[in-house]
Chain A
């Protein structure tokens, strides 16, 4: 679909404001009812999915033009999809896809926030979204005893992603991921310096052409290397490979796993045997890109129709909506629950209706104060359920929640599920320092 195709959605949005909240029937705490960080932070209706439908319709009607104010509203959206899940409890609308196509339109018209310019330049020149040098991409694995698939074939490709590749504080997590796979006997390799971005974050900013280019690159690379599966510790990369590439008609030919899925299988097989974990109360934060945004893409090519003699909009053929249900929710929880000594507690906003960490949609790069505010709000929720640590499964979540904890002064650990599992499996066998022993060991 293109932006123009959402006119009917724009007309039918009633301003019910359900997009601002988590679904009513899942509300448990009056302190944690909001679902959309954007409206929660900026208050004016424009900063909600409904408001964005409104301004989009005004743009279509030539009542507005794309200017800095318009971009401010469009890009202060985390693209986390909370609105989408809540809206679809009541309506046959696609607020998230509308936002995606509105951003693509902004890019096509050359109207983007200035902060995006160096990021996209970095992607085009250095193949990453974090303004790092291509030559430094593989340094995270220096000294790690793992195959480089460019030189030695491997069955499983461990795709680290831009954040893990360039965020030095997070390198131990990526290394631990490889360590666990190798310890379980997986024939795993990495691309090292030759790895490139998935371009999912660029797509979310509206750069659809960039993702097509990188999807082609990945497809060719995988074919030539003979890799049988991709395992990634990055939820963003996972959703790109699995969902977005399929959405744009470039589905990869091999299975895609988030590392949590792969590790769960290894535990079930007995290849990994978690024996003891830190005795603490932990909660799990669903990364949007592993949760609702990881639901497989449902292709639908049809048209809206009305039945004879009735006023109701139907689809020909009938349309199955993506409602967030098909995300990866139980796998990380199963792993955490299987760890001896871990006291697992849920937050109030979970699974399809989880609150975003704040790093999505380019917000952490464009509006860092908003990103940190959103992350702090998540930590407040974690603290409200008595958690000593927040466990997630995405480097963007770990980065932003860690920064938010420091900024807002939350005394709570932010861990990736890899770290927790590695600790339970007897610590690091690859020379990393442990990351789960308290504040003094956090990097």
Chain B
């Protein structure tokens, strides 16, 4: 059953007639996202029964309470740029499009944090923070990603997270509309102490908020959050282009004054990873991304991109696999000089060298721009869809040395068959917090969901990644699944939870506790009960 007229009118009274729609034409623009074809076999999923654009927390709490009263499923989204962002588990469900809530409420320069509403994009905050010498970090999802979505709702990551940390670690306070419609303030969140403290006394509720690797709407709506900021030395870089060049050709003229960018190349992967770990743990770098050599090098379009790929020799690919981009910064010339000497000495210790081509000043300027001021996710261009393989929670070089061959072996047959295009030099890693917390790694791949053979291969590869008895078991419960999975189809939690101390049981207990009426959409998270399961969870 869709919404009754009475239910619709009640929702309309809350947000106003301009901010709600159940027009089938509008609904058909909220049921088509890129991951649908991979997961469901078609681009369309069931359209929502209504879409609302609420203007603030009061409206959202009223809507959520009404959903509880009438048993209406709800899910909030911001940019919606996610594999399965608009999917609803039931047709009697509504979407909350949060685009009207786009204010940066505060940037606390001294304490280095910002308080934002959910539709503030990472780039918007970046621009304002930069005026104060602060920085949020470049999201992997691109700058349309919204701060709260990447920090509180997903397991978003960035190649600067050795410096800025993974976004989930940066959440301080939150204003959280629970699935019941009650408001829970995490941290001090606007009380006497302001938004500074991550949590108040007691258990850390940030972990509850986020679920395992992003609750993806399953835990209600975040209407406000404060996130940490980090130093950025210098101004927003002005980009130059030559007359007649397209906008995508605009580039920095050089690496900014307070930064140095390098690519270190090593004779073996082992040495590259060990040097990377040493640089990370010495807290010297602001970007450290083993294998992430191709970042920023994309043609204007596929034709140009393909021409560039064809020009790359096997020797260059091999060099790239054993290279690591390292960018350092410093608030003074002396600090920068110290860091430069230190990273170069580590490079030398592990027999590394500076390849002239990879370290050309123009190339470094371009790479820096993408490392800090990314402007897109070109991986989606090749075919309109891509996926990133598994990631591990353990960031040790030893893990990476074990992980890389397994990943390459598992992926290799798909690449060789031509069913999936590997558009990176190999497995790339994004270490977190000085290599102390873990390291996300994987293969960036393009597949064509409209090509039956490619779609089949992508699903097979995905099944292999998600299989707890498969080759990735030793590297842990896949975080990627949280972005690409529909639990009722992929059963990631159901399959992996039991081998991780039954953590899925506790995830479901938390879900049931937060959402007693089962109205916060769990399609990309976890249901309180698995299908066909007895109420006691047995």
Binary per-residue interface labels of chain A (29-70) against chain B in the complex, 1 for a CB within 8 Å, 0 otherwise? 110010000000001111000111011011001011001011
Chain B residue numbers with a CB within 8 Å of A313 are 302, 382-383, 448
How many angstroms between the C-alpha atoms of A324 and B250 in the bound complex?
A: 14
- Contact B247–A324 (Cβ < 8 Å): yes
- Which A-chain residue is minimally distant from B381 (CB atoms)? A91
The A-B contact count (CB < 8 A) is 188
- Contact A25–B43 (Cβ < 8 Å): no
- Contact B247–A85 (Cβ < 8 Å): yes
- Contact B302–A311 (Cβ < 8 Å): no
Which stretch (B123-131, B208-216, B226-234, B500-508) binds chain A? B123-131
A195 within 8 A of B: no
- Which B-chain residue is minimally distant from A59 (CB atoms)? B28
B359 within 8 A of A: no
Interface residue tally on A, bucketed by range: 35 or more
- Contact B248–A89 (Cβ < 8 Å): yes
Which one of B80, B376, B421 has the highest number of Cβ atoms from chain A below 10 Å of its Cβ? B376
Partner among A30, A44, A315, A324 whose Cβ is within 8 Å of the Cβ of B26: A44
Q: How far is the CB of B49 from chain A (nearest CB, A)?
A: 15
Q: How far is the CB of A41 from chain B (nearest CB, A)?
A: 10
B30 within 8 A of A: yes
Partner among B128, B142, B302, B418 whose Cβ is within 8 Å of the Cβ of A30: B128
Interface residues in A58-113 by Cβ distance below 8 A to B read 58, 61, 63-64, 67, 69-70, 72-73, 85, 88-92
Chain A residue numbers with a CB within 8 Å of B244 are 325-326
Binary per-residue interface labels of chain B (343-385) against chain A in the complex, 1 for a CB within 8 Å, 0 otherwise? 0000000000000000000000000010001111110111111
How many angstroms between the C-alpha atoms of A58 and B36 in the bound complex?
A: 14
How many angstroms between the C-alpha atoms of A64 and B47 in the bound complex?
A: 12
- Which B-chain residue is minimally distant from A14 (CB atoms)? B34
Interface residues in B106-128 by Cβ distance below 8 A to A read 123-124, 127-128
- Contact B300–A321 (Cβ < 8 Å): yes
Instruction: Indicate whether A90 sits within 8 Å of B376 (C-beta atoms), given known contacts A54-B28, A311-B454, A353-B247.
Output: yes
- Contact B44–A61 (Cβ < 8 Å): yes
Interface residues in B241-257 by Cβ distance below 8 A to A read 244-248, 250
- Contact B378–A90 (Cβ < 8 Å): yes
Instruction: Indicate whether A325 sits within 8 Å of B246 (C-beta atoms), given known contacts A17-B81, A90-B380.
Output: yes
How many angstroms between the C-alpha atoms of A433 and B50 in the bound complex?
A: 56
Q: How far is the CB of B239 from chain A (nearest CB, A)?
A: 6
- Contact B447–A311 (Cβ < 8 Å): yes
- Contact B302–A312 (Cβ < 8 Å): yes
- Contact A311–B382 (Cβ < 8 Å): yes
- Contact A319–B44 (Cβ < 8 Å): no
Which stretch (B2-10, B96-104, B273-281, B397-405) binds chain A? B96-104
- Contact B142–A16 (Cβ < 8 Å): yes
- Which A-chain residue is minimally distant from B237 (CB atoms)? A25
Chain B residue numbers with a CB within 8 Å of A16 are 81, 142, 144, 377, 380
Chain B residue numbers with a CB within 8 Å of A117 are none
Which stretch (B16-24, B186-194, B324-332) binds chain A? B16-24
- Contact A44–B21 (Cβ < 8 Å): yes
Q: How far is the CB of B402 from chain A (nearest CB, A)?
A: 28
- Which A-chain residue is minimally distant from B27 (CB atoms)? A46
Q: How far is the CB of B186 from chain A (nearest CB, A)?
A: 26
- Which B-chain residue is minimally distant from A318 (CB atoms)? B303
- Which B-chain residue is minimally distant from A8 (CB atoms)? B450
How many angstroms between the C-alpha atoms of A57 and B25 in the bound complex?
A: 11
Q: How far is the CB of B20 from chain A (nearest CB, A)?
A: 10
Which stretch (A127-135, A302-310, A391-399) binds chain B? A302-310
B460 within 8 A of A: no
A125 within 8 A of B: no
Q: How far is the CB of A239 from chain B (nearest CB, A)?
A: 19
How many angstroms between the C-alpha atoms of A88 and B299 in the bound complex?
A: 11
How many angstroms between the C-alpha atoms of A14 and B43 in the bound complex?
A: 10
B143 within 8 A of A: yes
Partner among A11, A58, A88, A311 whose Cβ is within 8 Å of the Cβ of B418: A311
Interface residues in A1-26 by Cβ distance below 8 A to B read 8, 11-18, 21, 23-26
Binary per-residue interface labels of chain B (217-237) against chain A in the complex, 1 for a CB within 8 Å, 0 otherwise? 000000000000000000010
B182 within 8 A of A: no
A163 within 8 A of B: no
Q: How far is the CB of A316 from chain B (nearest CB, A)?
A: 9
- Which A-chain residue is minimally distant from B451 (CB atoms)? A311
How many angstroms between the C-alpha atoms of A287 and B29 in the bound complex?
A: 30
- Contact B375–A25 (Cβ < 8 Å): yes
How many angstroms between the C-alpha atoms of A93 and B96 in the bound complex?
A: 28
Chain B residue numbers with a CB within 8 Å of A314 are 302-303, 306
Instruction: Indicate whether A312 sits within 8 Å of B25 (C-beta atoms), given known contacts A89-B247, A90-B378.
Output: no
- Which B-chain residue is minimally distant from A330 (CB atoms)? B243
- Contact B247–A23 (Cβ < 8 Å): yes
Partner among B19, B33, B300 whose Cβ is within 8 Å of the Cβ of A14: B33
Interface residue tally on B, bucketed by range: 35 or more
How many angstroms between the C-alpha atoms of A354 and B378 in the bound complex?
A: 23
Chain B residue numbers with a CB within 8 Å of A14 are 33-34, 81, 380, 384-385
A28 within 8 A of B: yes
- Contact A25–B384 (Cβ < 8 Å): no
Binary per-residue interface labels of chain B (278-320) against chain A in the complex, 1 for a CB within 8 Å, 0 otherwise? 0000000000000000000000111111100000000000000
B446 within 8 A of A: yes
Q: How far is the CB of B295 from chain A (nearest CB, A)?
A: 15
- Contact A55–B29 (Cβ < 8 Å): yes
A323 within 8 A of B: yes
Instruction: Indicate whether A64 sits within 8 Å of B381 (C-beta atoms), given known contacts A15-B85, A24-B143.
Output: no
How many angstroms between the C-alpha atoms of A14 and B383 in the bound complex?
A: 10
How many angstroms between the C-alpha atoms of A310 and B305 in the bound complex?
A: 13
Binary per-residue interface labels of chain B (380-412) against chain A in the complex, 1 for a CB within 8 Å, 0 otherwise? 111111000000000000000000000000000
- Contact B377–A54 (Cβ < 8 Å): no
- Contact B380–A91 (Cβ < 8 Å): yes
B261 within 8 A of A: no
- Contact B418–A310 (Cβ < 8 Å): yes
Instruction: Indicate whether A28 sits within 8 Å of B236 (C-beta atoms), given known contacts A14-B81, A45-B97.
Output: yes
Chain A residue numbers with a CB within 8 Å of B421 are 310-312
Chain B residue numbers with a CB within 8 Å of A29 are 127
A352 within 8 A of B: yes
Chain B residue numbers with a CB within 8 Å of A8 are 450
B526 within 8 A of A: no
- Contact A325–B239 (Cβ < 8 Å): no
Partner among A15, A45, A92 whose Cβ is within 8 Å of the Cβ of B34: A15
A271 within 8 A of B: no
- Which B-chain residue is minimally distant from A42 (CB atoms)? B18
Q: How far is the CB of A272 from chain B (nearest CB, A)?
A: 24
B60 within 8 A of A: no
B67 within 8 A of A: no
- Contact B454–A70 (Cβ < 8 Å): no
- Contact A45–B375 (Cβ < 8 Å): no
Q: How far is the CB of A4 from chain B (nearest CB, A)?
A: 16
Partner among B248, B250, B383, B419 whose Cβ is within 8 Å of the Cβ of A312: B383
Chain B residue numbers with a CB within 8 Å of A25 are 239, 247, 250, 369, 373, 375
Which one of B34, B306, B384 has the highest number of Cβ atoms from chain A below 10 Å of its Cβ? B384
Name 12 A/B residue pairs within 8 A (Cβ), A-sorted. A13-B32, A15-B33, A15-B85, A16-B81, A33-B123, A33-B124, A69-B25, A89-B248, A89-B375, A90-B380, A311-B446, A312-B446
Query: 4 more A-B contacts (CB under 8 A) besides A70-B25, A310-B418, A312-B306?
Result: A12-B385, A15-B32, A24-B142, A90-B378
- Per CB-CB distance, the 7 closest pairs between chain A and chain B, nearest first, are A12-B384, A309-B418, A51-B29, A46-B29, A323-B246, A14-B34, A311-B421
Chain A residues with a Cβ under 8 A of chain B = 8, 11-18, 21, 23-30, 33, 43-46, 50-52, 54-55, 57-58, 61, 63-64, 67, 69-70, 72-73, 85, 88-92, 306-315, 318-319, 321, 323-326, 352-353
Chain B residues with a Cβ under 8 A of chain A = 19, 21, 23-26, 28-30, 32-34, 37, 43-44, 51, 53, 79-81, 85-86, 97, 99-100, 104, 123-124, 127-128, 142-144, 236, 239, 244-248, 250, 300-306, 369, 373-378, 380-385, 417-421, 446-448, 450-451, 454
